[in-house]
A and B are shown apart, each in its own frame.
Chain A
């Protein structure tokens, strides 16, 4: 299937912008990103669980294909499974107080997430209008994601929900004298 020149220009432009942002962030913020020893252990554990969760997902997807249901056997399906595994990693980190670094300010970080999520949602809306309800659909027996931006915003919303639940639980369970 041929793609238009605009598609490749857009892809290349996005790649360059992403690289610039990542390099800038690495140079400017890398020295400030710091977790304590408990957080490092929790993040390592979360990474391990997320990784094995993804491996299990891929195995299940493979077996489903063997038994005649190739639901996840395309790039969209694999991306969806990877996002789910990423979400597992993030939720474990959030619930172990290992998501934010020691220098992160929670309100600022949540606001950043909201902005990024909203930005992705707007881009997804632009890409997907008027079929926003069906951005994940099944076409010819396979998953089809019509906008990765909407998937990103969904993951961010779920992360924020997990963070909210953790904050509510944390404020109840912590030592009252410290609140």
Chain B
């Protein structure tokens, strides 16, 4: 499932995938895969992304059932 919340948060800060990738220390393809729902990141990477985007884990990664 696509992670549109993360994509929206990134776009809200006017960050490209490449810029976000550099800030959290991963490749652009990894950010792309997370946003497309092709890869489930570890909790550490989730936390790093949240710190950069200024959001909580719930706001970006919690899926309502």
Contacts and interface: CB of A to CB of B under 8 A. Distances in A.
Given A175-B17, A178-B17, A178-B18, A39 B27 contact: yes
B42 interface: yes
Nearest to B7: A175
A97 B29 CA distance: 7
B32 interface: yes
A175 B35 contact: yes
Given A38-B26, A175-B32, 16 more contacts: A36-B25, A36-B27, A37-B30, A37-B41, A37-B44, A38-B30, A39-B30, A97-B27, A97-B29, A102-B26, A174-B32, A175-B35, A175-B36, A178-B16, A178-B18, A178-B28
Contacts of B45: 36-37
Q: Report which residue of B26, B27, B32, B41 has the largest number of chain A beta carbons within 10 angstroms of its beta carbon.
A: B27
Interface of B: 16-18, 25-30, 32-33, 35-36, 39, 41-42, 44-45
Contacts of A174: 32
Contacts of A178: 16-18, 28, 32
B32 A38 contact: no
Nearest to A104: B27
A101 to B, nearest CB: 9
Contacts of A39: 27, 30
Interface in A138-179: 170, 174-175, 178
A97 B36 CA distance: 15
What 6 pairs between A and B have smallest CB-CB spacing? A36-B26, A97-B29, A38-B30, A178-B17, A38-B39, A36-B30
B8 to A, nearest CB: 13
18 contacts: A36-B27, A36-B30, A36-B45, A37-B30, A37-B45, A38-B26, A38-B27, A38-B29, A38-B30, A38-B33, A38-B41, A102-B26, A102-B27, A170-B29, A175-B32, A178-B16, A178-B17, A178-B32
Contacts of A170: 29
